[in-house]
Amino acid sequence: MKRYRLFLAAGLLMTIGMLTGCKSTQNVAQVLDPTMDSSQFVTITDVVPDAMLDIRYYGTYNFVGARMDGYEQPVALLTRQAADSLRAVSDDLKQHGYCLKIYDAYRPQRAVDHFMRWAQNLNDTVTKAYFYPYLTKKRVFDEEYVATKSGHSRGSTIDLTLFDMKLGKDVDMGGTFDWFGSESHPDYCGDPETLEYRPVEGGITSEQFYNRMVLRAAMMRHGFKPLDNEWWHFTLKNEPFPDTYFNFPVRKLSE
């Protein structure tokens, strides 16, 4: 029976390939599994050429301490709609001497699954001092810093910061990307709606709060919505795939 099912599946692939003109198993897989279809995505730097990349999940400087499953190249991908909106953000901020630095964009479901395996291994705390020093590892999952699904996998969410082109360095945001704590919240030491700075002992400075708001305001002007607990995280309001969690790998797409 098992051999029969394998034979049937192989026949189905060949039939679909002949009917659709597909010339590769990858194209056939896209027909069978929409989560593997990257045709509506673009490589961000093809749309925003001056964007800088610091793809943390391709390397080891991240809260897991390892390259994430599915990150085959240090590139950033987004849906076409999100990338076009990001280009508008870039053009806007360029007039003020900034360019965008991207930490992460589209994230395959297989990487999210990798996060979950890490979260369930409570003995692995190698990166605790750098990303969650005030939380037990169990709290990282309980407080939803890591979850079974991520908006990133829908293809229209991005993590980013600002780079000061005149000074030649990252803008000081007063915190580290992927820091698990209230210090990462956009309303930490201030009100994002009124832009009123509210000093807290040991908190970020007024300049650091203002820098976060510059990024936030530009993203919101061009159709992105912020997240309550991460100053670097934004999702396109009218995302084209609100219910699809893609799983194709992160690598440069052909133009």
Catalytic residue ranges: 230
Q: Which amino acid is at 55?
A: I
Closest to 211 (Cα-Cα) out of 175, 255, 251, 252 = 175
**HSE-CB of 133 using CA atoms within 13 angstroms:** 4
- Tell me phi and psi for residue 182, to 5 degrees: -65, -20
Q: Which residues contact 111 (CB under 8 A, 6 or more apart)?
A: 57, 68, 69, 70, 71, 250
DSSP 93: H
User: How far is it, in rounded angstroms, from Cα 118 to Cα 219?
Assistant: 31
